[in-house]
Amino acid sequence: MNNNSFLVSAKGICIAAFLSFNTVMFAQKTADISTISEKTLSSILEKNRTYYTKGKVADYIPELGNMDAKAIAFSVVEKNGKVFNVGDVQKKFTMQSISKIIALMIAVSEKGETNVFDKMGYFGTDQPFNHFSNLETTGKPLNPMMNAGAILTTSLISGDGEKPFLKILDMVRYITKNQTLDYSTSVYESEKSTGHRNRGMFYLMKNNGLISGNEDQLDNYFRQCSIELTAEDLAKIGYFFANECVRFDGDSKYKNAEMSRLIQSQMLIAGMYEFSGEYARTVGLPSKSGVGGGITVSVPGKMGIGVFSPALDQHGNSAAGYHMILDLVKQYDLSLF
């Protein structure tokens, strides 16, 4: 055998070994995911429980400041719809910005993606969630995940008065299969009375010709942010968008692969605000946070994850929640990358 033949033969053996190794590793990953249990989640939760001490409960909305900083919950909904819950799983908290992905789904369903995104961008950002961004330059919000874009998104949902909000609430109830969900009137009133920055965005966009209605539309935004749910509900929302808008129990009434891709792509590039880029590097999954302390996560084609811990980091994301997600992703190699 000459040297060239030897090299070719050796190369072939190496490639075969590599492919065989990858096949084994892939099989192991699949098996590993199926071993997720409440014991697994409990271990991760306990490891990260004390991260609340490194965060701060949101108090710029006074009513949110009453949340128990030590509360913590962790939920997963598997591919077969099986639910795993640990921690304070009965504890309710408000959706806040997580409601933006539901509003976006409804607005795009009604108006079409082109019409919605003609008024805003697909861009990420290096600014906080309540930044005015380029409203005074191009006049359009950067994306539907920041407050300005979310306020605009809700204003695009058809219907007078509370109808746009009720559509959002009904959709959250459908996805979670939980008809008892409602909004907190005390948080709504607190948000409305202190939401002057959001009010400024609303009127600036109205001045730019993007919004034609009155403050009823902004009230709908405050209401949708005040919808109360649990970590399990968030896991079911994550599952829904991870699986082409099919509900955890298999109900495919809203099945839509393109909608699923749109929502998840926005979650990935802007769902964690200015932390989204670093989050994509460390976690690598479509996720949406809210200043109520919740984060919903979609593992495309596989599962939904929901976490809750109200103490927030400097970006407005749950401190303990982020670390629980990070540990689960590392343990089961769930990152897209």
Which DSSP state fits 176?
A: H
CATH number where 129 lies: 3.40.710.10
Q: How many domains, the chain?
A: 1
The answer for residues whose C-beta is within 8 angstroms of residue 53's C-beta and 6 or more apart is 311
Q: Which residues are annotated as a binding site for substrate?
A: 97, 147, 191, 198, 221, 273, 291
pLDDT above 60 for 47: yes
Q: Is 299 within the bounds of a domain?
A: yes
CB-based contact 297:304 (threshold 8 Å): yes
Q: Is 283 within the bounds of a domain?
A: yes
Q: Is 80 within the bounds of a domain?
A: yes
Distance (Å) of CA 109 to CA 91, 234, 246: 32, 21, 15
Q: What are phi and psi of 56, to 5 degrees?
A: -145, 130
CB-based contact 294:234 (threshold 8 Å): yes
Grade residue 177 by pLDDT with cuts at 50, 70 and 90: very high
Q: Is 121 within the bounds of a domain?
A: yes
Q: Is 337 within the bounds of a domain?
A: no
Angle in degrees, 0-180, between the axes of helices 196-207 and 147-156, rounded to the nearest 10: 60
| Domain that includes residue 135, residue range | 37-332
For the entire predicted model, the pTM comes to: 0.89
* Structure tokens that stand for 224 in this block: 């949708």
77 bridge partner residues: 83, 304
pLDDT above 70 for 168: yes
Which DSSP state fits 228?
A: E
Q: What are the tens digits of pLDDT across the range 241-281?
A: 999 999 999 999 999 999 999 999 999 999 999 999 999 99
Q: Is 5 within the bounds of a domain?
A: no
* Structure tokens that stand for 59 in this block: 């108090």
Tokens 């019409």 belong to which residue?
A: 115
Q: Which residues are annotated as a binding site?
A: 97, 147, 191, 198, 221, 273, 291
Q: Is 26 within the bounds of a domain?
A: no
Q: Is 21 within the bounds of a domain?
A: no
- d(C-alpha 182, C-alpha 228), whole Å: 6
